[in-house]
Amino acid sequence: MEYTATKDLGFKETFDKWNGKFLTEDSYDEVVTSKGVDADIIKIYKPHASLGEKPLLAAIVKGHVKNEIEIKDTLFSIDDVSTMRANAAGPIDHEEMKKKGLIEGVHYKLRTPNSYYPLKKNGKFNRIAEANAIHSVLIGYKRGRFTGMIGASGWMEKVKNQPKWEILKRIAPLNESALKKAAPDVWRMQRTFADNHIESKYHIGGAPITALSANRYSTEGTAKMSAHVDGKDLEFGLTTMCVFRIGDYKGAYLTFPRYGIAVDADDGDVIIADSNELHGVTPISGNGVRLSCVAYCDEHVATMGIAGKSENPIGPHNKDKHGSLDEFL
């Protein structure tokens, strides 16, 4: 089954309006759902000319992980939060900060509308900014922001999480097979990039995927995710997301405001999406929980070939030369 978006509001125009902000019903005109649809794959295309290749915005691979109960239960057991995802966590609510006894300019100062520097015990503001806490946890491999070195995420380094990791790393090959079904040409390019430029020890479950992001939405916790672009994903690649539903809820749509499209996945579906487009998750309502695990290939983990960067330490970790990760990359 195929859909084609009927409008394109423009990347810059949509970015300026929605980036870092929570999406509302005004951000979409149509909800594409897999519920009750008799099709294995539902493809959603961006508006395109009549000639040439149709650009894929998103796809739903129905029921691809429906029977993965152990994975679903493990994702449900993760209740960790992150304060490091500023663009996805929404604007800082100063009234909510006041309820916590925190006053702007006294206990924290803004870095951006979505992040702030907290006051340290020594009376100075921390140099590392924080954001609203959201139930979104990085699992897998990353290049350190302040070291330039590649290693496991903080969640993985905790001994108590090792049994969960053994289960969750099965997500990568499952999501990869969904990508191969929905977009074989993109899968082939992503597979080739990973094989040629990323060391095999960073391939989760042998797939061309280096990181997972475990997300949890509910009215009692993180109810939504603000609009953002995933800056670490391959420019030519597509991201993958398995979705599990618990209980009865509405909303929590993966939404692309540029095209006015919202995606509603059923329990056990895998969404394939162009995460280089501005996207976010609309508010959830009801008593249920939406679990998702995004699996993607982080190009910053590449160390081999012309696309690779060595693991030369940066900043204070390099005695000879200081610098930032952005300069290094």
The predicted-structure confidence for 125-177, as pLDDT tens digits, reads as follows: 999 999 999 999 999 999 987 788 899 999 999 999 999 999 999 999 999 99
Percent of the chain beyond pLDDT 90? Answer: 85
Q: How many CB atoms lie within 10 A of CB 315?
A: 17
The predicted-structure confidence for 236-274, as pLDDT tens digits, reads as follows: 789 999 999 999 999 999 999 999 999 999 999 999 999
pLDDT at residue 322 tops 90? no
282-304 residues labelled b (16+ CB within 10 A) or e (exposed): bbbeeebbbbbbbbbbbbbbbbe
- Measured CA to CA, the distance from residue 89 to residue 137 in angstroms comes to 12
Show contacts of 5-9: CB within 8 Å, 24+ apart.
5/44, 5/45, 5/46, 5/47, 5/57, 5/259, 5/260, 5/261, 6/47, 6/260, 7/47, 7/259, 7/260, 8/46, 8/47, 8/258, 8/259, 9/257, 9/258, 9/259, 9/260
pTM given for the model: 0.91
pLDDT at residue 14 tops 70? yes
Local confidence band at 318 (pLDDT 50, 70, 90 cut-offs)? low
Domains of the chain, each with CATH number or no CATH: 2-86+132-315 (3.60.130.30), 91-130 (no CATH)
